[in-house]
């Protein structure tokens, strides 16, 4: 049976290792070694639980259970990993589903009802029904296009500038794959979900399973792959700690990082990989000793309002289970996301300094201006996430096809997983890892959810 090396211990790499070693497939891998460059697993899945019970997430903070393949698959994985009792889900009737947009120095609810369609709802200046009318006559796109251009074509410039732009501002998109399973019934009323200890609980649990005697994966921290070469149908992985010759490599590292470690003879592949850019995001987590004045998921900002401020997430409204224990008094947690495509502008505004205190003050100012909370925060945490969200510009899909074709045509024992290629959401990362691995192992066994006990923590 074949041996595999996985590059990167984020959610894509851990999922690849998990599916490669799963019992019940027709030909699972005999051995999997995973190399992680840093001193922790999880990649962007990174959470802290404070002594008073409050949870801060520094990367993803929720998963969408969407009724399509990738969303269902993550729920299925969590159930397989025994995380059922740790799932915290948001019911579709919960007020925390309401989304807002910040425009003209005010927070406005995103239009969501039929009534909203026939009246003028701020911040828009004309009725949505006109945009629906316009949509009927919209020209059809012939190739992939930017979200702004899609919104302009379908809904007009005003919607594109405010709604479309606010939605794409953090640039988190993903593919849609239809699938129907009993899990669908299980999650009928969910709109999003997380885990009691934060999203990192998913990667932590994967690590526990992977290192259990059943799976026996070899997971290595502080071991960066520095060179990847191919010889006689095998792959040779050179790392800080030596050399491994293996049957197959699953690379989950950012495309540009992979380009750096490929040999000169595959420079054509490296050039394509290098052309996939990513943006950096500054995450400012804040806890205030007051109740949130807003009920909802959070608000986004169109770039015309304030480029470097991407949006604010009202974490306590969405997952109050992750608030500090009530005996410590009222509290509300918020995340201010800064940077993205406006990272350089942000840096310029900060006088070129990456000082976390400066970003903390910036985040507090945003909360004071947008939500009118002027109290001193009880907790502040800032993290700078470099090149964390790959950007899928027009032509990305064709580029990915060329990259995959190059690997196939050259018979390289290499599979590409991770957020650089076919979706950046956690759901997409896990699902794409599964699809890639199943090309070798055959389909993984399906777990039927136990729907007799309904005790999810809504
Ligand atoms: C701030 C933020 C908020 C987000 N919010 C959401 C959300 O709410 N919901 C959602 O679904 N998604 C969200 N996402 C997106 C999602 O979290 C990421 O796309 C996903 O976690 C990427 O996982 P990955 O395993 O592909 O990559 P990574 O997490 O980047 O993992 C790659 C790993 O490879 C390691 N590595 C790099 N080079 C080497 C090397 N040479 N050798 C060995 N190891 C190496 C890195 O240290 C890293 O641990 C968010 C992302 C960010 C940054």
In a domain, 115, yes or no: yes
CATH code at position 368: 3.50.50.60
320: pLDDT strictly greater than 80: yes
138 pLDDT exceeds 60?
A: no
Report the separation in Å between the CA atom of 43 and the middle of ligand 1, taken as the mean of its atom positions. 5
Work out which ligand 1 atom sits closest to the CA atom of 426: 11
Ligand 1 atom showing the smallest separation from residue 44 Cα: 29
- When mean pLDDT is compared across 110-124, 345-359, 408-422, the lowest value belongs to 110-124
Residue 428 pLDDT more than 70?
Answer: yes
Q: What is the mean pLDDT of residues 301-311?
A: 90
**Average pLDDT score over residue span 450-454:** 48
Judge if 173 and 287 occupy the same domain.
yes
My answer on whether 297 and 323 are in the same domain is: yes
Ligand 1 centroid, distance to 313 Cα (angstroms): 19
- Which atom in ligand 1 lies closest to the alpha carbon of residue 58? 1
Decide: 10 in ligand 1 pocket, CB within 6 A: yes
Domain-located, residue 436 = yes
* pLDDT given for residue 186 in this prediction: 77
Section 11-19 average pLDDT: 98
| CB of residue 278 inside a 6 A radius of ligand 1 | no
Per-residue pLDDT at 133 exceeds 50: no
User: Of 328, 357, 390, which closes a domain?
Assistant: 390
Higher pLDDT, 240 or 45: 45
Q: What pLDDT does 26 receive?
A: 83
Give me the pLDDT at residue 456, please: 41
Same domain, 233 and 318: no
Ligand 1 closest atom vs CA 64: 11
* Residue 370 is assigned to a structural domain of this protein: yes
Compute the distance from residue 44 Cα to the ligand 1 centre, in Å.
4
Higher-pLDDT residue of 210 and 302 is 210
pLDDT of 259 over the 80 cut: yes
Residues 324 and 366 in one domain: yes
Q: Kindly state the tokens that stand for 180.
A: 């129907």
Give the span between the Cα atoms of 281 and 270, in whole angstroms.
25
Alpha-carbon gap, residue 54 to 292, rounded angstroms: 15
Q: Taking a C-beta distance cutoff of 8 angstroms, is the pair 22, 446 a contact?
A: no
Residue 382 domain boundaries: 94-138+147-188+278-390
* Size of the chain, expressed as the number of residues it contains: 458
- Taking the CB of residue 289, how many other CB atoms lie within 10 A of it? 16
Cis peptide bond upstream of 123, omega within 30? yes
Band (48; pLDDT cuts 50, 70, 90): very high
Per the structure, how many domains does the chain have?
Answer: 2
**Any residues with CB less than 8 A from the CB of 444 and at least 6 apart, and which?**
19, 22, 24, 25, 434, 438
pLDDT at residue 302 tops 70: yes
- Strand-pairing partners, residue 79, are none
Are 254 and 400 within one domain?
yes
Residues 384 and 285 occupy one common structural domain: yes
Give mean pLDDT, residues 6-12: 98
3-state helix, strand, coil in the chain (%, to 5): 35, 25, 40
Helix H or strand E encompassing 140: none
Mean pLDDT, rounded, of the chain: 87
Residues 151 and 36 in one domain: no
Mean pLDDT of 72-83: 93
**Full DSSP string of 112-131:** -SHHHHHS--TT-SS-HHHH
Determine if ligand 1 sits within 6 Å of the CB of residue 312: no
Which range among 28-37, 60-69, 101-110 shows the weakest confidence by mean pLDDT?
Answer: 60-69
Same domain? For 326 and 381 the reply is: yes
Q: What is the CA(455)–ligand 1 centre distance, in A?
A: 31
Q: Which two tokens stand for residue 458?
A: 């809504």
Domain membership of residue 227 (yes or no) is yes
Least confident of 4-13, 151-160, 256-265, 272-281: 151-160
Nearest to 435 by CA among 5, 4, 16: 16
% of the chain beyond a pLDDT of 70: 81
Q: Which of 43, 237, 273, 389 to mutate to test the pocket of ligand 1 (most atoms within 8 A of CB)?
A: 43
* Model confidence band, residue 455 (pLDDT cutoffs 50, 70, 90): very low
Q: Around Cβ 261, how many Cβ atoms within 10 Å?
A: 19
Strand partners, 234: 231
Q: Is 166 among the domain residues?
A: yes
| Closest residue by CA, ligand 1 atom 17 | 60
- Quote the pLDDT of residue 162: 60
Q: Please give the average per-residue pLDDT across 152-159, as a whole number.
A: 57
Q: Examine the pLDDT at 4 and tell me if it is beyond 80.
A: yes
Q: What are phi and psi of 203, to 5 degrees?
A: -70, -35
Do 336 and 359 lie in one domain? The reply is: yes
- Which residue has the least CA distance to atom 14 on ligand 1? 60
The pair of structure tokens assigned to 213 is 């005697």
Residue 425 domain-assigned (yes or no):
yes
Q: Is pLDDT of 418 > 80?
A: yes
Same domain, 238 and 315: no
CB proximity list for 19: less than 8 A, separation 6 or greater: 25, 433, 434, 437, 438, 441, 444
Taking a C-beta distance cutoff of 8 angstroms, is the pair 444, 88 a contact? no
Name the band, by pLDDT with cuts 50, 70 and 90, for residue 120: low
Tokens of 185: 């019934």
| 356 and 270 assigned to the same domain | no
Confidence of residue 453 (pLDDT cuts 50, 70, 90): very low
**Residue of minimum CA distance from atom 27 in ligand 1:** 10
Query: What is the model's pLDDT at position 166?
Result: 62
Q: Give residue-wise pLDDT tens across range 163-218.
A: 556 655 554 433 333 344 567 777 888 999 999 999 999 999 999 999 999 999 99
pLDDT at 141 (0 to 100): 46
Residues 368 and 262 in one domain: no
* Mean pLDDT of the 350-354 span: 92
Ligand 1 centroid from CA 388, angstroms: 6
Residue 77 resides in a domain: no
Mutate to test the pocket of ligand 1, among 387, 426, 427, 435 (most ligand atoms within 8 A of CB): 426
Atom of ligand 1 nearest to the CA of 15: 25
Ligand 1 atom nearest residue 41's Cα: 49
Q: In this structure, is residue 447 part of a structural domain?
A: no
């Amino acid at each position: 049976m074949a041996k595999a090396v996985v590059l990167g211990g984020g959610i894509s790499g851990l999922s690849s290792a998990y599916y490669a070693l799963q019992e019940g497939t027709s030909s699972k891998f005999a051995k999997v070694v995973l190399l992680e460059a840093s001193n922790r697993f999880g990649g962007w899945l990174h959470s802290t639980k404070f002594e008073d019970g409050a949870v801060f997430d520094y990367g993803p903070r929720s998963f969408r259970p969407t009724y399509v393949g990738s969303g269902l698959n993550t729920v299925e994985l969590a159930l397989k990993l025994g995380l059922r009792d740790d799932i915290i889900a948001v019911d579709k009737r919960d007020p925390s589903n309401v989304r807002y947009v910040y425009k003209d120095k005010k927070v406005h609810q995103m239009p969501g009802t039929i009534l909203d369609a026939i009246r003028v709802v701020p911040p828009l200046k004309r009725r949505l029904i006109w945009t629906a009318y316009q949509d009927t006559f919209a020209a059809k796109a012939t190739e992939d296009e930017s979200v702004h251009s899609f919104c302009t074509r379908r809904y007009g410039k005003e919607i594109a500038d405010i709604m479309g732009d606010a939605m794409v501002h953090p640039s988190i998109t993903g593919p849609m794959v239809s699938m129907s399973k009993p899990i669908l019934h299980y999650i009928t009323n969910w709109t999003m979900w997380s885990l009691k200890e934060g999203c990192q609980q998913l990667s932590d649990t994967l690590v526990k399973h992977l290192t259990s005697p059943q799976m026996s994966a070899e997971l290595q921290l502080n071991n960066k792959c520095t060179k990847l070469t191919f010889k006689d149908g095998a792959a040779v992985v050179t790392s800080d700690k030596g050399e491994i010759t293996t049957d197959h490599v699953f690379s989950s590292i950012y495309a540009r990082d992979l380009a750096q470690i490929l040999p000169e003879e595959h420079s054509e592949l490296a050039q394509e990989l290098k052309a996939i850019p990513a943006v950096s995001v500054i995450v400012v987590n804040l806890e205030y000793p007051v109740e949130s004045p807003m009920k909802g998921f959070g608000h986004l900002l169109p770039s015309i309002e304030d480029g470097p401020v991407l949006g604010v997430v009202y974490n306590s409204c969405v997952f109050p289970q992750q608030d500090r224990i009530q005996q410590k008094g009222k509290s509300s947690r918020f995340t201010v996301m800064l940077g993205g495509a406006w990272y350089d502008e942000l840096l310029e505004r900060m006088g070129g300094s990456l000082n976390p205190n400066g970003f903390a003050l910036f985040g507090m100012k945003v909360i004071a201006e947008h939500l009118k909370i002027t109290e001193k925060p009880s907790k502040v945490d800032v993290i700078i996430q470099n090149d964390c969200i790959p950007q899928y510009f027009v032509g990305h899909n064709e580029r990915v096809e060329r990259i995959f074709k190059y690997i196939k045509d050259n018979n390289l024992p290499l599979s590409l997983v991770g957020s650089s290629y076919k979706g950046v959401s956690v759901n997409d990362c896990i699902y794409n890892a599964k699809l890639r691995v199943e090309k070798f192992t055959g389909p993984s066994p399906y777990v039927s959810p136990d729907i007799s006990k309904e005790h999810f923590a809504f």
